[in-house]
Chains A and B, each alone.
Chain A
């Protein structure tokens, strides 16, 4: 089981705000409950199977099973549908667990992307070096776990090319990303190697603005929006699942599209 971890570097103010926004009930026990359907279900089954902790344990197990099912469904050669310039959603929404004016401000001049874990060359990368990587572009649909979607245009370097360049062990299971505000995210290696998985430095052919994750976002059109980290400052190639900000709170880990 993945444990809920304290995330170093998270602004406690943001965390409290976040908790107030997404968890209407401070009691974790009530996290899965819903009075009416719950009552109907208890009536139908004749027993109280929705005791908070038991249900949560079972449901998290099913969620892990769903991770496996989605990994099987995932195809490294199946490309996400692409769109034309005319289809781009304008303005593309800002989305995070904090307001736009609280988004991290990363200094591009001093920024360095840290590399850790199973790679031959762990030299940190400056933004200028990253920008010099061969550029790829995509106009794809960003799908939020909430259900809404928006079409955006992203440019940057193919993550699989970068992994090759730094001599990463692509037989490793995961890549873990750490972001400037403390947000974290772990993805599976097959998704990391998908041709549309991109280290994004530009939005709509202009330098990635702060709202969309300056200096670097990882764009994966094959995963839900929250699996696409922004303000990425470090990545680790690893065989250990370090979980992630939302995943640790109960959102599905794989979250593939």
Chain B
């Protein structure tokens, strides 16, 4: 084998290019900080008749959690923008996440629930994965924009209005968080059930 074919083969075997892995783990740390501190912030003025136990929250009191939240937001937003741009520019989103056919989603969902879904080829996403990954990217965009509209309801008042005003934007932000937490439960569980997927996100293969 020539050096060229070796590098070609290794490129072919790479499931996740390095930019995907770097963005993924920066995002993982940032989103955990955002969720943990966000729960503490929520507790200062709950939207619903419950609060998050303080041992699951980050920051210990409102000022501390706000410091965490407004620091990690930069990592989350900048990393998120880089990820989405590269996903679009490299064509990865189009080739990995599209097209999505509803019939295929139902078939794969049924297969997954009856443990008949194949995980042999990690470079190919099944229809349920496609839906979840597209959904979580869109949710990420919503949580950043609703967060901006709560943080700056005067300077970005047009954006705040788009979310139905300041108070409604808080609910949007909360439900987007809930969707991300629900996604994380499924995502982390499946990564642990199929450990080679976790390895692929670390080493690339």
* Chains A and B are bound partners: yes
Q: Which residues of A contact B (CB under 8 A)?
A: 22-25, 30-38, 40-41, 44-45, 56, 58-60, 62-63, 66, 73-75, 78-81, 141, 143-149, 221-222, 246, 249-252, 256-257
**At the interface, yes or no: B128 with Cβ under 8 Å from chain A?**
no
Q: State in angstroms the CA–CA spacing of A73 and B155 once bound together.
A: 7
Q: State in angstroms the CA–CA spacing of A60 and B35 once bound together.
A: 20
Q: State in angstroms the CA–CA spacing of A22 and B62 once bound together.
A: 8
A250 touching B63, Cβ below 8 Å: yes
B155 touching A44, Cβ below 8 Å: no
A37 touching B57, Cβ below 8 Å: yes
Which residue of chain A has its CB nearest to the CB of B28? A44
**At the interface, yes or no: B82 with Cβ under 8 Å from chain A?**
no
A selection of 9 A-B contacts at a CB cut-off of 8 Å is A32-B68, A34-B56, A34-B60, A37-B36, A62-B71, A73-B152, A145-B44, A147-B45, A251-B66
B56 touching A78, Cβ below 8 Å: no
**At the interface, yes or no: B19 with Cβ under 8 Å from chain A?**
no
A252 touching B66, Cβ below 8 Å: yes
> How many A-B pairs fall under 8 Å by CB?
132
B60 touching A24, Cβ below 8 Å: yes
Q: State in angstroms the CA–CA spacing of A38 and B32 once bound together.
A: 9
**At the interface, yes or no: B135 with Cβ under 8 Å from chain A?**
no
Q: Which residues of A contact B152 (CB under 8 A)?
A: 73, 256-257
Closest Cβ of chain A: how far from B155's Cβ, in Å? 5
With A32-B64, A256-B152 known as contacts, the answer to whether A147 contacts B44 (CB < 8 A) is yes
Identify 7 new A-B residue pairs, CB closer than 8 A, beyond the known A44-B29, A59-B64, A62-B67. Answer: A22-B63, A31-B63, A33-B59, A34-B65, A145-B62, A147-B44, A147-B150
B153 touching A145, Cβ below 8 Å: no
B60 touching A147, Cβ below 8 Å: no
Q: Which residues of B contact A (CB under 8 A)?
A: 25, 28-29, 32-33, 35-37, 40-42, 44-45, 54-68, 70-71, 74, 150, 152-155, 157, 161, 166-167, 170
A149 touching B64, Cβ below 8 Å: no
Q: Which residues of A contact B70 (CB under 8 A)?
A: 62-63, 66, 252
Q: State in angstroms the CA–CA spacing of A252 and B151 once bound together.
A: 12
Q: State in angstroms the CA–CA spacing of A132 and B42 once bound together.
A: 43
With A44-B29, A62-B71, A141-B166 known as contacts, the answer to whether A37 contacts B154 (CB < 8 A) is no
A23 touching B61, Cβ below 8 Å: yes
Q: State in angstroms the CA–CA spacing of A56 and B61 once bound together.
A: 13
| Contact of A74 (CB < 8 Å), options: B66, B67, B71, B155 | B155
Q: Which residues of A contact B155 (CB under 8 A)?
A: 73-75, 78, 256-257
Main secondary structure of the interface of B (DSSP, over half): helix
| Contact of B63 (CB < 8 Å), options: A79, A148, A251 | A251
Q: State in angstroms the CA–CA spacing of A104 and B151 once bound together.
A: 31
Closest Cβ of chain A: how far from B135's Cβ, in Å? 23
Which residue of chain A has its CB nearest to the CB of B42? A147
| Contact of B40 (CB < 8 Å), options: A34, A75, A141 | A34
A22 touching B58, Cβ below 8 Å: no
A256 touching B154, Cβ below 8 Å: yes
Q: State in angstroms the CA–CA spacing of A79 and B154 once bound together.
A: 7
Q: State in angstroms the CA–CA spacing of A63 and B74 once bound together.
A: 11
Interface centre among A59, A75, A79 (most CB of B within 10 A): A59
Closest Cβ of chain B: how far from A125's Cβ, in Å? 29
A81 touching B154, Cβ below 8 Å: yes
Q: Which residues of B contact A23 (CB under 8 A)?
A: 61
Q: Which residues of A contact B68 (CB under 8 A)?
A: 32, 59
Q: State in angstroms the CA–CA spacing of A37 and B192 once bound together.
A: 19
Which residue of chain A has its CB nearest to the CB of B44? A146
| Contact of A25 (CB < 8 Å), options: B60, B63, B74, B154 | B60
Q: State in angstroms the CA–CA spacing of A257 and B56 once bound together.
A: 28
Which residue of chain A has its CB nearest to the CB of B41? A147
Which residue of chain A has its CB nearest to the CB of B73? A66
| Contact of B61 (CB < 8 Å), options: A22, A40, A44, A141 | A22
